[in-house]
Amino acid sequence: MSNAKGCTINQQKILTAARQLFAARSIETVSMKDIATAAGIGPGTLYRHYAHKSTLCLALVTDRVATFIKTNQVYLTTTSVGAAARFDHVIGEYLAIREHNMALLMNVEAGEPGRRQFYQSELYQQLCDLLTQLVRDLKPTLSKPACEFQADMLIAMLKGTSYAFQRQWRGRSQSELLAQLHALMVTE
């Protein structure tokens, strides 16, 4: 077996083991050693692939978020509904992604001490570009930097801890959050 193929197999073992352990227990209670043991690999192999739990969590959600971004980029270019309806559609789907992956995304957003943060990742930039387009459609007189700022702030408002606080402590449903974001962002 080639080294590249062995690397891919180990990554799949790691991701499968992490997904299963995180489903059975909370992310916080699963150690990197637990993941290595469940994957049947040594800790060194695990750390070569994922130096920190947040990078492992990012790997688990990257495909889902990337699919969300691509799907909604196509949606924005092919739909004929108004800007407010496009906003509601895309943000509604983003809230669903956040809900389904809340714990993973909170871990990703916490980042690694001394390492590149989620906000500096390519995935974040793609998400920001998508939301910048939404803001630009809603507010065509705003400059590109102003639209980017509002997109960044929209993402920040929905960051894991903020989202979890609204859902769990304030008891707001996804539809209530969407209605509040609509009221905040859409000027009709």
What is the percent of the chain where pLDDT is above 90?
A: 62
Highest mean pLDDT among 3-12, 19-28, 114-123: 19-28
Task: Provide the whole-model pTM.
Answer: 0.82
> Does the pLDDT at position 183 exceed 60?
yes
The 10s digit of each residue's pLDDT in 166-176 is: 999 999 999 99
Residue 71 and residue 133: Cα distance in Å, rounded?
14
CA 81 to chain centre: 26
> Does the pLDDT at position 112 exceed 70?
no
- Pull the structure tokens for residue 168: 């769990």
Residue 104 and residue 98: Cα distance in Å, rounded?
9
Alpha-carbon distances, residue 186 vs 94, 138, 178 (angstroms): 17, 7, 11
Residue 185 and residue 188: Cα distance in Å, rounded?
10
The 10s digit of each residue's pLDDT in 46-83 is: 999 888 888 898 889 888 899 999 999 999 999 999 99
Residue 67 and residue 129: Cα distance in Å, rounded?
14
The 10s digit of each residue's pLDDT in 119-145 is: 777 888 999 999 999 999 999 999 999
Main-chain phi, psi angles of 123, to 5 degrees:
-60, -45
pLDDT, mean over the chain: 89
- Pull the structure tokens for residue 186: 């859409």
- Pull the structure tokens for residue 65: 């978020």
Task: Band the pLDDT of 1: cuts 50, 70, 90.
Answer: very low
